[in-house]
């Protein structure tokens, strides 16, 4: 039986705001990959309605600490049978690694 400590694939991206918006050139905004690698996704046990919208709160543990993750970054978690997408709510750097709290976005 295989049971790794960090079994999920985590991808965190951010829209590049250094390029000024040009209304005459409506190209897709460039995204920057902040993190791509292993992690552990788990339910944070705080599912509820926020302003009439159901949000599912999750947390991701990442075994790397020097990552510049910000609130509002897009996170994609690939598990064995599903892929979840959402927005970063709060990154927390602790002494054992990085914990990223995030809200699932229902498409």
User: Domain with 77 in it: what CATH number?
Assistant: 2.40.10
Is the model's pLDDT at 100 over the cut of 60? yes
- Please check whether residue 32 lies inside any domain of the structure: yes
- Please check whether residue 39 lies inside any domain of the structure: yes
Calculate what percentage of the chain has a pLDDT beyond 90. 36
Q: In which band, very low, low, confident or very high, does the pLDDT at 66 lie, cut at 50, 70 and 90?
A: confident
- Please check whether residue 38 lies inside any domain of the structure: yes
Which pTM value belongs to this model?
0.79
Domain count, the chain: 1
Instruction: Give residue 100's Cα distance to chain centre.
Output: 7
Which residues, 6 or more positions from 75, have their beta carbon under 8 angstroms from its beta carbon? Answer: 10, 11, 12, 60, 85, 86, 87, 88, 100, 102
- Please check whether residue 1 lies inside any domain of the structure: no
- Please check whether residue 76 lies inside any domain of the structure: yes
Provide the residue range defining the domain that includes 35: 8-104
Assign residue 62 a region (left: φ > 0; alpha: ψ between -120 and 50; beta: otherwise).
beta
Give the mean pLDDT of 3-16: 87
Query: Which residue in 56, 30, 31 sits closest to 41, CA to CA?
Result: 56
pLDDT at 55: 60
Q: Which residue has the higher pLDDT, 54 or 76?
A: 76
């Amino acid at each position: 039986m295989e049971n790794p400590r960090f079994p999920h694939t985590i991808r965190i991206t951010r829209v590049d705001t250094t390029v000024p918006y040009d209304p005459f050139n409506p190209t897709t905004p460039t995204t920057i990959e902040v993190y791509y690698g292993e992690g552990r996704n788990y339910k944070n046990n705080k599912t509820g309605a926020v302003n009439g919208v159901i949000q599912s709160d999750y947390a991701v543990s990442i075994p790397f600490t020097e990552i510049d993750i910000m609130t509002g970054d897009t996170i994609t978690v690939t598990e064995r049978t599903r892929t979840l997408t959402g927005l970063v709510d709060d990154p927390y750097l602790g002494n054992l690694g990085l914990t990223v709290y995030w809200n699932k976005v229902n498409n």
